């Protein structure tokens, strides 16, 4: 472990990938302009490890940690790590503006998580209001920031954010992202295990949304290609990816939902946003964004990230019959979650 951590430190000092244990994308610094990242909900189960991972990212020069409570401690703790980012903690609504001012990327893991037996939509009543008020502040204090929405239900919180920004006159569809990276992370892990291929080489697009059957992994496009998987294997992998969140909620037995894997996924996605802003080429991640690739106004698919955010929303590619069926089945649920979010802002 000592050697591993020393290699992290060396990698960070060099700003390059020094260890094969580490995802290369975390540590490559082609150029490093000043970049401010704000985490809203930074004292929570996701927020704390995400704050740690963003402090390790050499693309970040300023890290603002905001929550309604607990941020002074988290910020003091994380700030002692000897990496580039200057860390500041902000607590309570009166400090939200200062936390947001000048942000290039705002990551939102604020809100309540699921307990066993709940759906993500059961979180709507509490989280919709939280997201609405945070996005109102974003529109005021950093209208040009890229927003990475983690708070659930993502299928509704992203449309809520869009409506808030539209009302404020600041909406730019290229700058709003629902973070679905955890679905991709899971699909890659589960596929690698079943296909017996090296996990670090695996790529699997996951499209649709972020809840139950709206999560549609496209294993027909998975690489490296495996001819060993049967149709039953693909069905089981699809179901496990769709139920990945519930698997963690049940294992945590009332103590919340995925936090560590989510922090990892959130850090990967924020890193991709920063690389895009900095002009790195060929940065493509799946995300739930405003979209015209189906008849639904928001949809997760591969997105090319660039200096303005989502420069291009990529199409679905060719689908297997099983995936085509999955796509049709998910549309009614996704449509109604999107409409629920839009209606919430229009009526409140
Ligand atoms: N997109 C995904 O893939 C994904 C994955 C995992 C969890 N989630 C969601 O992320 C959210 C957070 O999960 P968690 O496990 O970190 O929960 P948590 O309860 O551990 O932490 C949430 C934090 O949000 C803070 N908070 C509440 N209201 C706030 C406000 N108005 N402003 C700022 N902060 C506020 C709380 O004080 C708390 O520290 C949940 O909605 C969960 O469902 C999404
Ligand atoms: O499942 C949850 O409630 C949290 C998150 O959306 C997940 O996919 O882990």
Q: What percentage of the chain reaches a pLDDT higher than 90? A: 90
Shared-domain flag, residues 187 and 174:
no
Q: What is the dihedral of CA 242, 247, 250, 256, to 10 degrees?
A: -80
Higher-confidence residue of 3 and 99: namely 99
CA nearest neighbour of 262 among 37, 45, 4, 38: 45
Higher-confidence residue of 4 and 67: namely 67
pLDDT tier for residue 155 given thresholds of 50, 70 and 90: very high
Domain end call among 156, 178, 200: 178
List the CATH number of the domain containing 111.
3.40.50.720
Q: Is 120 in the pocket of ligand 2 (CB under 6 A)?
A: yes
Q: Is 257 in the pocket of ligand 2 (CB under 6 A)?
A: yes
Question: What whole-number distance in Å separates Cα of residue 145 and Cα of residue 256?
Answer: 29
Q: Is 248 in the pocket of ligand 2 (CB under 6 A)?
A: yes
Shared-domain flag, residues 309 and 343:
yes
- The closest ligand to the CA of 41 turns out to be 1
| Total tally of structural domains belonging to the chain | 2
- Which residues are part of the catalytic machinery? 210
Q: Is it the case that residue 29 has pLDDT exceeding 80?
A: no
Question: Could you give the maximum distance between any two Cα atoms of the chain, in Å?
Answer: 57
Instruction: Tell me what the mean pLDDT of segment 239-258 comes to.
Output: 98
Q: Do residues 54 and 42 lie in contact, with contact meaning Cβ atoms separated by under 8 Å?
A: no
Instruction: Give the pLDDT score at 4.
Output: 42
Question: Three-state secondary structure along 249-262?
Answer: HHHHCCCCCCCHHH
CB atoms within 10 A of CB 333: 17
List the CATH number of the domain containing 204.
3.90.110.10
pLDDT tier for residue 108 given thresholds of 50, 70 and 90: very high
Question: What whole-number distance in Å separates Cα of residue 147 and Cα of residue 137?
Answer: 12
Say what the ipTM of the complex is: 0.99
Question: What whole-number distance in Å separates Cα of residue 339 and Cα of residue 337?
Answer: 5
Q: Do residues 140 and 97 lie in contact, with contact meaning Cβ atoms separated by under 8 Å?
A: yes
Q: Is it the case that residue 205 has pLDDT exceeding 50?
A: yes
Q: Is it the case that residue 339 has pLDDT exceeding 90?
A: yes
pLDDT tier for residue 341 given thresholds of 50, 70 and 90: very high
Question: What whole-number distance in Å separates Cα of residue 297 and Cα of residue 293?
Answer: 9
Instruction: Tell me what the mean pLDDT of segment 315-330 comes to.
Output: 98
Instruction: Give the pLDDT score at 3.
Output: 40
Shared-domain flag, residues 196 and 313:
yes
Instruction: Give the pLDDT score at 14.
Output: 45
Three-class SS of residue 43? Answer: coil
Q: Do residues 169 and 128 lie in contact, with contact meaning Cβ atoms separated by under 8 Å?
A: no
Question: What whole-number distance in Å separates Cα of residue 117 and Cα of residue 109?
Answer: 21
Shared-domain flag, residues 241 and 266:
yes
Binding positions for substrate: 114, 120, 152, 186
**Domain-located, residue 211:** yes
pLDDT tens by residue, 297-320 = 999 999 999 999 999 999 999 999
pLDDT tens by residue, 58-70 = 999 999 999 999 9
pLDDT tier for residue 18 given thresholds of 50, 70 and 90: very low
Shared-domain flag, residues 140 and 64:
yes
**Domain-located, residue 285:** yes
**Domain-located, residue 300:** yes
**Domain-located, residue 17:** no
CB atoms within 10 A of CB 126: 12
CA distances from 300 to 105, 130, 147 (A): 19, 23, 15
Shared-domain flag, residues 221 and 317:
yes
- The closest ligand to the CA of 67 turns out to be 1
Three-class SS of residue 268? Answer: helix
| Kind and range of the H or E run holding 284 | strand 283-290
Task: Supply the DSSP symbol for 30.
Answer: S
Shared-domain flag, residues 170 and 224:
no
CA nearest neighbour of 141 among 175, 190, 97: 97
Instruction: Give the pLDDT score at 12.
Output: 46
Domain end call among 178, 203, 231: 178
Cα-Cα-Cα-Cα dihedral sign, residues 285, 288, 291, 296: positive
Domain end call among 158, 178, 198: 178
Instruction: Give the pLDDT score at 17.
Output: 36
Going by CA atoms, what residue is nearest to atom 24 of ligand 1? 110
CA nearest neighbour of 88 among 145, 46, 42, 44: 42
| Residues contacting 139, CB < 8 A, separation 6+ | 164, 165, 168, 170
Shared-domain flag, residues 267 and 234:
yes
**Domain-located, residue 5:** no
**Domain-located, residue 9:** no
**Domain-located, residue 191:** yes
Shared-domain flag, residues 142 and 189:
no
Q: Is it the case that residue 292 has pLDDT exceeding 60?
A: yes
Question: What whole-number distance in Å separates Cα of residue 318 and Cα of residue 221?
Answer: 8
Shared-domain flag, residues 329 and 285:
yes
The residue range of the domain holding 111 is: 33-178
**Domain-located, residue 92:** yes
Q: Is it the case that residue 197 has pLDDT exceeding 60?
A: yes
Q: Is it the case that residue 30 has pLDDT exceeding 70?
A: no
Instruction: Give the pLDDT score at 31.
Output: 56
Mean pLDDT of the chain: 93
Q: Determine if the pTM surpasses 0.90.
A: yes
Helix intervals (H) in 28-95: 47-55, 71-79
Shared-domain flag, residues 174 and 274:
no
Shared-domain flag, residues 197 and 221:
yes
Alpha carbon of 303 to ligand 1 centroid (Å): 25
């Amino acid at each position: 472990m000592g050697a591993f951590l020393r290699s992290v430190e060396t990698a960070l000092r060099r700003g390059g990938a020094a260890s094969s244990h580490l995802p290369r994308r975390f540590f490559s610094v082609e150029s490093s302009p000043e970049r401010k990242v704000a985490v809203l909900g930074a004292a929570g189960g996701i927020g704390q490890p995400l704050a740690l991972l963003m402090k390790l990212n050499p693309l970040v020069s300023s890290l603002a940690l905001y929550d309604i409570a607990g941020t002074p401690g988290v910020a003091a703790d994380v700030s002692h790590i000897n990496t580039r980012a200057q860390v500041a903690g902000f607590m309570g609504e009166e400090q939200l503006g200062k936390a947001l001012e000048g942000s290039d990327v705002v990551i939102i893991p604020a809100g309540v998580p699921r307990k066993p037996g709940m759906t993500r939509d059961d979180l709507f009543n509490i989280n919709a209001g939280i997201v609405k008020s945070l996005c109102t502040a974003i529109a005021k204090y950093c209208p040009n920031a890229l927003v990475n929405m983690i708070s659930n239900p993502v299928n509704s919180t992203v449309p809520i954010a869009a409506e808030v920004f539209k009302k404020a006159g600041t909406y730019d569809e290229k700058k709003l992202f629902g973070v679905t990276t955890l679905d991709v992370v899971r699909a890659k892990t589960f596929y690698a295990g079943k296909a017996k291929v090296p996990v670090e080489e695996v790529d699997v697009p996951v499209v649709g949304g972020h809840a139950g059957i709206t999560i549609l992994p496209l294993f027909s496009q998975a690489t490296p290609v495996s001819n060993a998987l049967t149709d039953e294997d693909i069905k089981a992998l699809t179901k496990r990816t769709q139920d990945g969140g519930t698997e963690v909620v049940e294992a945590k037995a009332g103590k919340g939902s995925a936090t560590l894997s989510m922090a990892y996924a959130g850090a990967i996605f924020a890193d991709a946003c920063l690389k895009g802003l900095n002009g790195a080429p060929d940065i493509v991640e799946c995300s739930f964004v405003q979209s015209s690739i189906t008849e639904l106004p928001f949809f997760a698919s591969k997105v090319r990230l660039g200096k303005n955010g989502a420069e291009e929303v990529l199409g679905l590619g060719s689908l297997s019959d099983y995936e085509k069926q999955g796509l049709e089945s998910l549309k009614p649920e996704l449509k109604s979650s999107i409409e629920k979010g839009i209606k919430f802002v229009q009526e409140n």
